Amino acid sequence: MKLRITSLLLLLAGGMGAPVLAQGQDGPTVTGESGLFTLLDGWTLPRGEWSFGLYYNNWDRLVAPVPGFDPVAPLTDDWDYDWNRLSASVGWGATERLEFALMLPWEMLRADDNHHIGVVNGKQFANEIDASGIGNVRFGAKYRFWADEPAGRALAGNLFVELPTGDDDEGVVTGDTGWGLGLDWSMAPNWVSRVGFRDPGDADDFDVPEEIELGIGNVARLNERFDWITELAATLYQGGDSSPDDAIDLTTGGRYWIGDAGRWAVNFGLRLELNQLSDTDEHCPIGGLAGLTFFPRRIFAPAEPVPVAAPVAPPPVPEPAPVAAPAPEPAPVA
């Protein structure tokens, strides 16, 4: 717990010292909408503009226990696995306030431990997790409710649906249609926060838990081409026949803009799952990301200067009144 609190304080302290710049620092997220790495922000693509993202991500997750089964040593359900995803996404600005995003993932789940058992996406695994295949196509929309461009603040809401295109026999998806929504807030040009909900759908004969998503992120502009991004994102599992431990991911890395126009960017980052740091003998909580993205960099209009009233000229000094000539002295009397 102390480590989690320390990580959050370091994130907050780093953001407080980051410069507030006039240029937007967002790009395509791993799901295609505008934002940081995984956190959506309050901004949307300009009307008629396109974005593109190609990402590789690695998350470390824990399996859910098998319902109604209490393992006895040496068998255990304290089991972590690598969740790898290779994804491609496109985004499009339909209006100045509304954007759409489409993401196609390839999912890979990996773990190899004797005497381990658990459930992932409603499918039971034992001793080995070796699943791969196309994931669910994700179609999302984000609408900006309000914005203050000179201050770099904006508020948006997002909706998405996950179409059942994935291979549930492999266990990379549930096999059902998923959906979710969220509220995305850009508190300042270099701060983002988000709250969301996701229902991944249910597998055959298994109620997969829903997810509450919470996150805060910061962007520090190191120079005109290099942004340093830090995110703290929590996934809280709710309900279901069985649910894994909650996940808290701390991700930090860079987005380096390349090319003359500065629209392409190379993305990289290191990810730690903080809930697993207390048991590194059994778990490996280290993940990360790498990506190539295209995004029309957003420039905020500068704030209009406050008009200054022209100084009022003092009234002219009146000319002195003419002085009357003295009266002549009377003539002397003879």
Biggest distance spanned by C-alpha atoms of the chain:
152
- Please check whether residue 217 is in contact with residue 39, taking contact to mean a CB–CB distance below 8 angstroms: yes
Q: How far apart are CA 121 and CA 208, in angstroms?
A: 7
Q: How far apart are CA 97 and CA 47, in angstroms?
A: 8
Does the pLDDT at position 11 exceed 50? no
CATH fold for the domain made of 2-294? Porin (2.40.160)
Question: What DSSP line would sit under 73-107, residue for residue?
Answer: TT-B---EEEEEEEEEEEEEESSSSEEEEEEEEEE
* In the chain, where the domains are located: 2-294
Q: Mean pLDDT over residues 172-197, rounded?
A: 96
111 vs 309, which has greater pLDDT? 111
Q: How far is CA 323 from CA 88, 318, 327, in A?
A: 95, 15, 12
- Please check whether residue 140 is in contact with residue 33, taking contact to mean a CB–CB distance below 8 angstroms: yes
With cut-offs at 50, 70 and 90, classify the pLDDT of residue 132. very high
- Give 241's strand partners: none
Least confident of 12-21, 171-180, 207-216, 322-331: 12-21
Residue 166 identity: G
Least confident of 22-26, 93-97, 125-129, 314-318: 22-26
Q: How far apart are CA 130 and CA 257, in angstroms?
A: 36
Confidence at residue 36, expressed as pLDDT on a 0 to 100 scale: 98
Confidence at residue 20, expressed as pLDDT on a 0 to 100 scale: 43
| 283-315 residue pLDDT tens | 789 999 999 999 997 655 555 566 766 676 777
The pLDDT mean for the chain works out to: 88
Q: Mean pLDDT over residues 177-181, rounded?
A: 98
Q: How far apart are CA 39 and CA 328, in angstroms?
A: 100
Q: 34 in helix, strand or coil?
A: strand
Q: How far apart are CA 62 and CA 83, in angstroms?
A: 10
Confidence at residue 284, expressed as pLDDT on a 0 to 100 scale: 83
With cut-offs at 50, 70 and 90, classify the pLDDT of residue 88. very high
- Please check whether residue 63 is in contact with residue 118, taking contact to mean a CB–CB distance below 8 angstroms: yes
**Of 33, 78, 72, nearest to 51 (Cα)?**
33
| 144-167 residue pLDDT tens | 999 999 999 999 999 999 999 998
Which helix (H) or strand (E) segment holds residue 198: the answer is strand 191-199
Does the pLDDT at position 44 exceed 50? yes
Question: What DSSP line would sit under 224-250, residue for residue?
Answer: SSEEEEEEEEEEEEE-SSS-PPPEEEE
* Ramachandran assignment for 33, one of left (phi > 0), alpha (psi -120 to 50 degrees), beta (any other): beta
Q: Six-digit token pair at 292? A: 């190539």
Could you identify the residue written with the tokens 């997750």?
A: 61
Q: How far apart are CA 171 and CA 183, in angstroms?
A: 30
| 215-224 residue pLDDT tens | 999 999 999 9
Phi, then psi, of 276 in degrees rounded to 5: -100, -5
Confidence at residue 13, expressed as pLDDT on a 0 to 100 scale: 45
Q: How far apart are CA 154 and CA 25, in angstroms?
A: 13
